[in-house]
Amino acid sequence: MEPGAGMPLDRRAMTLWRIEALLAGVPALLISLGMAWVARVATPWPGWVAVVPVAAAVLWIGWSAGPGASLRWRWWRWSVERDEIDLAHGWLTRTRTVIPMARIQHVDTTTGPVERRLGLATVVLYTAAGASVIPALSDVEAVAVREQIAALANVHRDL
Amino acid sequence: MSASQPDFRSFAVPPTRQHPGWIAISAIRQFRGLVIPAIILLWSRGGRGDGGGLLVFALLTAATLLWQIALWWNLTYEVLDGRLIVRSGALSRRERFVPLERVQAVDLADTPLQRVFGLATIRIETAAAGVKEADVRLEAVPRMDAEALRAGLLSARGVAVPIEEPAPPLFTLSTIDVLKAGATSGRIAPALAVLIFVAQLANEVLPDGAWSGLAERAPAVGVWGAVGVALAGALAAWLIAIFGAVLTWSGFELHREGDRLRISHGLLDRRRTSVPISRIQAVSVREGLLRRPFGLAEVTFTSAGWGKEGKDAGTLAPLIPVAAATVLIAAAAPRFSPPAPVPVLASPPPRAYAGYLLAAMKPAAALLAAAILLAAWLPNAAWWWGLLALAAVPVAAVHAWFELRDTGSGIDDGRVLVRQGGLNRTLTVTIPERVQWRQVLQNPFMRRAGLAHLALGIAGGRGKTATTVRQLPIAVVERLVAELANEGGPVLVDGYTSRHRDAPVAARGPDSKRMPFDERRDAGAGAGGAFRGSGTGGASPAP
């Protein structure tokens, strides 16, 4: 099955997510090593039990820095139309979100440190019921999308 | 009194203090926060024969009382030269001057406690809307004086005051109903809070080792003992729930004043809310497990975005017959009244039961794990005693079945209906303009079964913004999502009138080459797009 219509994210999103997975993996790995140590030293459980948390952490990091990031990118689609914004993502659990332009309260772009290095930015869409994001667009495109949505939302403005 | 030529100067009240009963009312309010720490301190120290804690609290009490007396002494109100003057404050003094022509409304209210003293609260609403402490509140004015002040203020303002019978409330709760609400609330959270408090207290008071002694003796009481303890606990929780309902819901009143709802309730601490009806996001009719057999329900609402201190949820009726709920909502927030009878809603097919069962098993599994751990930890009890918690599995299965049977969603007569089932059943009513976003979710199992969750983003409601209908056929979900696009297109300001600006879009939008929507814009405009149903028509020029 193929993802639906709409624009993909910037390809550098995969790089971003890989770096983020590795960065998040460091504390996760440390915690799992701690758990393994406790299991070995403080419990009478057999030795293989200690391997479980470490293996889980390594698998999780490997997945999210490897094929996970590619699949995530492959299944992300976004489109901004005159009346609605349509976001679809997720390989395993597929989520499609439709936000009417008239419900947009305001639009931001945010850039994390890694994103900035890569020249990426995230568009954050605020409604009265929480925020949605279009992650990892090129920074030029993110600003353009933000301006476009702000202009379209203004047409629909109800406040 | 002639209202044609208002004379602001004709009405005067000399500087007046409130009734001394205010000291008692205010002191009680202050002390409530001190009661629990006081008990803890007294208990924990009492065992050691140390009077220090008692002394500290005696001093604190005296200081609080003196402070309240000082506040009472220094608070006076006066009407002079067409102005209401309120002087207050014990150390830092404050004087407020309210020109009588700025007075918007004058309300009288009393709590059962105030009634004991024959007092009333008079609330004078000024024009400074949205400013904190914009209202003047005098909390202990003798009833007669309060009525005279109200009449005087309103007539001085130039409003012809026919001895105005205040509009009858849309809904009130009798004492019997308050007790019923408590008895059927099924709430155990307050009871748990009390239990934890008592356990902490016991920890302070009991000698060390009492807990482990208890644990050692636990298996000795036997099954009937355990059942007895459980029943006693349930009874205690039930009584605490009733007590809590009396505190919270006594004297509940719902008024509609023009485009606002005024809600007040509470025995000691009167809680008052004033909600613009236009800010209501959704209304829910919740039939709790213990209320369903009696045809009773609770009606609540969520609201959003009105002022800094605006609450985001409230109650229209703590306890009401289901049949009357529709009538009440029609009177209080007409756009959110559920169609009666509720139309047939699109519901999950029987093959969705697997998904409901799986979801219901998660808490059952957690309970089982907790029970096994507890049994393994208790001395003299084998871990497999925890398997008693397996009894939760059939309960969860039945719950899942009820959830499946009652869940449904539909759009009818401009209303979006979501019914969530289970042991409690909730019907949520909103309007397309209040649906902030809509979401379709599918995991691989659901894809194979052709099912999907539908989530609707609704503002307000204590941080929870998604209202989810689980496991509907994907075709139904797609249809509802599309229907909402059609119905939700025009922006209805205040929920009633369209102030939608019909501005041209094509001229906007920088950098249009990379935008995917540019190709679609023309197609969208041709199809009518968002402008459908806006009242002005898509093509009509702005006036």
What phi, psi does B90 have (nearest 5°)? -95, -50
Query: How many helices and strands (H and E) does chain A possess?
Result: 5, 6
User: Among A127, A144, A156, whose Cβ lies nearest the Cβ of B530?
Assistant: A156
What is the pLDDT confidence band of residue A18, given thresholds at 50, 70 and 90? Answer: very high
pLDDT tens, residue by residue, A108-128: 889 989 999 999 999 999 888
**CB contact B479 to A (< 8 Å):** no
| Residue B407: how many other CB atoms lie within 10 Å | 24
Given phi > 0 = left and psi -120 to 50 = alpha, else beta, which region is B503?
beta
| Cα of B532 vs its chain's centroid, Å | 35
pLDDT tens, residue by residue, A33-51: 999 998 888 878 888 888 8
Verify whether the Cβ–Cβ distance B436 to A132 is below 8 Å.
no
Distance CA B418, CA B431 (A): 11
User: Among B458, B503, B516, whose Cβ lies nearest the Cβ of A80?
Assistant: B516
Of all residues in chain A, the one with the smallest CA distance to B306 is A128
- Determine the pLDDT at residue B252: 92
- Per-residue burial over B192-212, b if 16 or more Cβ lie within 10 Å, else e, is eeeeeeeeeeeeeeeeeeeee
Q: Are B304 and B312 in contact (CB under 8 A)?
A: yes
User: Is A88's pLDDT higher than 70?
Assistant: yes
Verify whether the Cβ–Cβ distance B443 to A93 is below 8 Å.
yes
Task: List CB contacts (< 8 A) between A84 and chain B.
Answer: 485, 530
Respond yes or no on whether the N-terminal peptide bond of residue B341 is cis (omega within 30° of 0). Answer: yes
Q: Which residues numbered 499-538 in B keep a CB inside 8 Å of some CB on A? A: 499-501, 503, 505, 508-511, 514-517, 520-521, 524-525, 529-530
- Determine the pLDDT at residue B114: 79
- Determine the pLDDT at residue B528: 34
ipTM score assigned to the predicted complex: 0.89
Tell me what percent of chain B is helix, strand and coil, each rounded to the nearest 5.
45, 25, 30
Residue B305's Cβ-side half-sphere holds a number of Cα atoms within 13 Å equal to 14
B381: helix, coil or strand?
A: coil
Residues 6+ apart with CB under 8 A from B415: B335, B336, B337, B338, B339, B429, B430, B431
Q: Which residue has the tokens 């003299």?
A: B380
User: Is A155's pLDDT higher than 80?
Assistant: no
Q: Which residues numbered 70-89 in A keep a CB inside 8 Å of some CB on B? A: 79-84
Task: List CB contacts (< 8 A) between A103 and chain B.
Answer: 435-437
Residue to substitute from B517, B522, B532, interface A, most A β-carbons within 10 A: B517
What are the residue boundaries of the structural domains of chain A, listed by start? 12-72, 78-155
Would you say domain B8-164 falls under CATH 2.30.29?
Answer: yes
| Residue A22: how many other CB atoms lie within 10 Å | 13
Q: What is the pLDDT along chain B (543 residues), one digit of tens a residue?
A: 444 444 556 788 888 999 988 888 888 877 776 676 666 666 665 555 556 667 877 888 888 889 999 999 999 999 888 888 888 888 888 888 887 877 777 778 777 777 778 888 888 876 554 444 557 888 889 988 888 888 888 777 665 444 445 678 899 999 899 999 999 988 777 677 777 777 777 766 666 666 666 666 665 666 677 778 888 888 888 888 898 899 889 889 999 988 888 898 888 777 777 788 888 999 999 999 899 999 999 999 988 754 444 457 789 999 999 999 999 999 999 999 998 888 889 999 999 999 999 999 999 999 999 988 888 887 777 788 888 888 889 999 999 999 999 999 999 888 999 999 888 899 999 999 899 999 999 999 999 999 999 999 998 765 567 889 999 999 999 999 998 887 654 443 333 223 233 333 333 333 333 333 333 333 333 333 333 333 333 333 333
Verify whether the Cβ–Cβ distance A83 to B514 is below 8 Å.
no
Over the Cα atoms of chain A, what is R_g?
Answer: 20
**CB contact B388 to A (< 8 Å):** no
Q: Provide the shortest C-alpha distance from residue B270 to chain A (in Å).
A: 29
Q: B454 has which bridge partners? A: B440, B469
- ∠ CA B505-A105-B302, nearest 5°, is 130
Residue ranges in B438-473 assigned as alpha helix (H): 444-449
- Determine the pLDDT at residue B40: 67
What are the residue boundaries of the structural domains of chain B, listed by start? 8-164, 175-249, 363-406, 488-500+517-534
B194: helix, coil or strand?
A: helix
Three-state SS string over B303-339 comes to ECCCCCCCCCEEEEEEEEEHHHHHHHHHHHCHHHCCC
